[in-house]
Amino acid sequence: MYFSRYAFWMMALFVLLGTPAVLAQSSKAILKQHIYYLASDEMKGRETGSAQVEQAAQYIEAAFKNYGLQPKGTDGYRQDFTAKITRVPVTDSLRAAANIIGFLDNGAARTIVIGAHYDHLGHGTIGGSRDTLHIGEIHNGADDNASGVAGLLELARHYSQNEVKESFNLLFIAFGAEELGLLGSKHFTQNPTVPLNQIHWMLNMDMIGRYQPENGLAIIGHGTSPAFVEIFDGVTSDIKFYTSKDGNGGSDQTSFYKKDIPVLFFHTGGHPDYHMASDDADKIDYKALQSIVDLEIKIIDKSMHVAKMPFQWTN
Ligand SMILES: [Zn+2]
């Protein structure tokens, strides 16, 4: 492991001053900035095939570029594909979509995949809306899933700027067309730009912005590798969390699980604004979101002490 001079002096400083109880790795202000941008009315709910979801894709691409990630799509950072809409009431069935993929190449043999989808329901007219009174209004999708994209971008920023060369590579993927049936992650796992047998495990974030203290954060997929027992051992957070075994579920980790890759899915649970026009940025718990991203960093770092993670089916 490489220890930077910066890390050495920071350590020395903490010995002098006493280590703070919680050292935040992610920035609450930056998380907030991403969500307020992606879930603004100007983004019109990031409907697959729209000019606005393309604008969101370009925002993510610009961030990856800014963090010095290597393009790992099929056309730069982009992996374009066609999303086929199979559900009513949509009359056009084919739409342009893209995954945005950035790679932190540490020259390692194995890679950890970190993902979140960036599309949402637009005005609720492509199906999926639960909002019978507000069909036609913008479904901003702050929790679903501007929150996950904010987490993705903060993890990309952290790992590209921490001056540590990790013993694993990290592949950051913003998935398109999740709301239409996990289409972006399906496309990636059928057309991977990093061989699937080199993937250590996959972390997915979908709806991590509405932390409920009574329930805690759900971390789903703990049973998909026996190695997670060791990885979670001793991991603490200032928020409450619990693990559950199953690797299957309603988001993009499922596509990886089906390819025998261990997965963890971070999720703060359902709420009355889920798939409604009222899923707005001012309802996000930014402090808890920051704690969730910091907890993810701890888990990712610990998973780097495990050379190989055997896959295990759960049900
Ligand atoms: Zn959704």
Q: How far is the CA of 82 from the centre of ligand 1 (A)?
A: 19
Q: How far is the CA of 164 from the centre of ligand 1 (A)?
A: 35
In the prediction, which pLDDT does 275 show? 97
249: left (phi over 0), alpha (psi -120 to 50) or beta: left
Q: How far apart are CA 215 and CA 219, in angstroms?
A: 12
- pLDDT under 50: residue ranges of the chain: 1-3, 19-21
In the prediction, which pLDDT does 20 show? 47
Domain assignments of the chain as residue spans, ordered by start: 25-303
In the prediction, which pLDDT does 116 show? 98
Q: How far is the CA of 273 from the centre of ligand 1 (A)?
A: 11
Residues with Cβ within 8 Å of residue 149, at least 6 apart in sequence: 34, 38, 56, 60, 116, 117, 118, 174
In the prediction, which pLDDT does 126 show? 85
Q: How far is the CA of 266 from the centre of ligand 1 (A)?
A: 14
Q: How far is the CA of 295 from the centre of ligand 1 (A)?
A: 23
Q: How far is the CA of 166 from the centre of ligand 1 (A)?
A: 32
In the prediction, which pLDDT does 7 show? 54
Q: Which residues surround ligand 1, an ion (CB under 5 A)?
A: 144
Q: How far apart are CA 215 and CA 230, in angstroms?
A: 24
In the prediction, which pLDDT does 157 show? 98
> What count of other Cβ atoms lies within 10 Å of the Cβ of residue 262?
27
Residue located via tokens 């005005």: 123
In this structure, which topology does domain 25-303 adopt according to CATH?
A: Aminopeptidase (3.40.630)
As beta bridge partners, residue 204 has 115, 265
Q: How far is the CA of 229 from the centre of ligand 1 (A)?
A: 29
